[in-house]
Structure 1
């Protein structure tokens, strides 16, 4: 046994010195050192460079699992669950996870609960069994506490328990749990809205480079009209989140550049970030780019390119469908052809208010019944704390990109009213007026 332990330590040293260590490690395994055997199997598993190595890992895990080693049982269950050495086999995965879980192996308890939650053991999710295993694992496994909090929040609607389990996971260092706590506090789920607590937990997650937390923290800074340099801090946080692939952060950076928050308008930078977000299938960025091409904002006007961008999201964006209908309508010299009508109906079905009004207008025009038209109701309340023209303008464009065209127009009018010399808002308002509703007769 002493020789096995010595060989195991020697193999570790050889690995650190970038020397061949497998021969020494295998000798330690053959002499009965469990750690050496499992380490060797782990090496083959992580290499994942050939079916032969994966099979070798499975053989080693199987040997130790048959002797009751809970770590080997855990790893063997993982191999079967994900089919890493052959076909996926949920029954065998459950079997080996259960053997390890019954020996209080926390990761196995979590993974067993996860299989029940996903419906991989039974034909549908079994939340009671998932909760049973998560409860056993949660003090040693942050992911179990996180998963338990998620079930508390989304299945049981028990926000107090969700908060308790998220806090447990967050205190074990889980960034996603800290982010979820921020959401609970920001939106007042189960308690009053508490922005200080929301910011605290977002910061905890952001410190671990959680991209969504960085974005939410940036959002709070962007809406902060009291703290000096809050907008600059928001921009820096968005940049960190964008560097981690967060498309919402990319979009927000584009919006800030287009509207000059916190510095000067920079269309080149706006296009760069909008395109990055659009490539990540971000609908608002897609609409923003289409709008810029439609009206020639920062780029030469290109209706063909605008239509291509709108078409990419028209299936799920009423705003895109409506804008396409307006462009087709204009190109047909005011005639509403079948294509424009179909798009208009799609937009109206999706809840686009202007599309609903236009369809009613068309019917009323045909029947000469103007009273048939339902008055548009615009619901918005400009934040009285927002003083600068660029911030109001940013909110106006964000609403447009989000599909809230009527709110966007109302906000633009608010900017023009408060800041008559602020040309970007006036120019955009004039641009939008070019395509303001279908013109019939």
Structure 2
């Protein structure tokens, strides 16, 4: 992956913001919430989450959503699920999010049904299950929910339910488009533009794109401009595919100078009920500037019964004449967009400047954009940076993103990649999707932060989750780089030989070791790694740590180096640093069971049993034949007095070949009644394999197996390339698979004879898998 290729993600990321006007009083709502009203609690949580009339506070939002959720309030459950899914105000926990969505979905809430469907579609917090996703989208679509109709249509268009069903997808898009749902309009336009299930009809495509563009949908703006032949590059994709995470202030790229712009989307305003609007209108007529601003935004958004930019301009102008900061900013946006008035960047800049001088944060960011582009003012990156800084320091995530880009490019400020990454991280953590994409790029390229491809993937996925499609392209680039990197050499697998004393050896290096007896003046990462192992094996852990750190400085993406460093930290008693370091190894090799198991051992040794169990389960899901995992799990369950689970784990460990029976002996003493009749299941076997290049090597493997050696260790040590990862585990055995004759009838835990294929000689083994033991507690 080259910098040039991935840095395309920095294009079109200076975004124009409009902030919501002041919110209504929350005193009555708070009183009702305190009195236990779940609807009021959910609404109060929303107010804290969005900062309407109160200081924005995600923790308080989570507190009130929890209160509502505890009473079974559907919207409280859903909103709390969103916070857990994205880690805002609570520790990120997608599995908890899935459970909350499920509860709300089962109450019939369409929004939650779609959210749950998305988790199943992406495998977030639940096992990926496209059929479940389809089912939940169907439920939401059946209620006439446009978002559910659209998500269902997208899956059907892709053929997720079998063959692509373009007629039904089109019908669903048409239903959602009838409700003016922008994303559906775009999908419908694409069908007409590309002739998918219909004849190519550019007029219909253009009409769909325009309708969505008129609502400020960024992707539609680009598609519409392209069909018009404007030559303008499409702006970023929609900021989100979810209503739950759409910021109150919609974003729109600054229009290019000299070209007509699409309407700038207006921010939501409080008080959409007819009675509330009437009250605001009366107050506006009485000269209240805040009410005039609210009424103007009502008319701009069409929430007064009809969209009327002219009336919007009238009321915003009245409020701006009274120096109302929000109105000055909002009126400036109208001049930028040419809504209700002729486009005039000069007047817009003056209005932003007045509002910015009064401390309006959104206007400060917008003024920075005007100076960046030279719209209505003389172009000055230095002045742009000043205004971005003012807004960024007050927490405006758009300004933080923009300031990060200025530092990244050295525009208006001295180039400083560390500061760039710092500001982008603030914006990314605040939920800004473009910043999430940009921060991911910094991690992918090692700019301003230590290069970390897994961290890059995490941030790209967050941006994609919010609909930022540019991140999807970058994510694929990073994944290709990870796939192209050489896998570390297969590690040995250790046994947790005694209760409470799990152990794992150091992993072998991914790179070849240096020639014996040589100590070059300038060592390679592999050499530092090797000498670190030598120190560690001889008990000199401080020296080992120093060598591993040198190896990491030269090769920061070798998961085995981090693993051995983590083990060395653990040996010195620094378990906190050990766990922190081991998490990096897990991030670098998220599909390697040994990495999770080592992290589990570190937690286990530090008596953090619950954390250890989770990591052991993650490891067992990737390599369910790793017998010592179940033994260590049995040890923990005994300590926790969960004797039924302990019996099952201990039995499965024994069946899989674990030699130690201390756990079973202990259970027979303290909990014989909990044993029951459970035996490791044999009705749904899974398959693992050893693959070697020659028949001679296959015969040699058979000799090892006949001596009773561990199948998984042999797979890790001798199999070709990736076939040895996770003990050669393949997955569930299915009669639909193309398998050699006689394999279905092969008894469990009996190895097959070698089978020759184009990739080598395969030796198979069927293993029992207890799905109930792989469920997280």
| TM-score of the superposed pair, with normalisation by structure 2 | 0.28
- Structure number with higher relative contact order (C-alpha < 8 Å, ≥ 6 residues apart): 2
Structure with higher helix content: 1
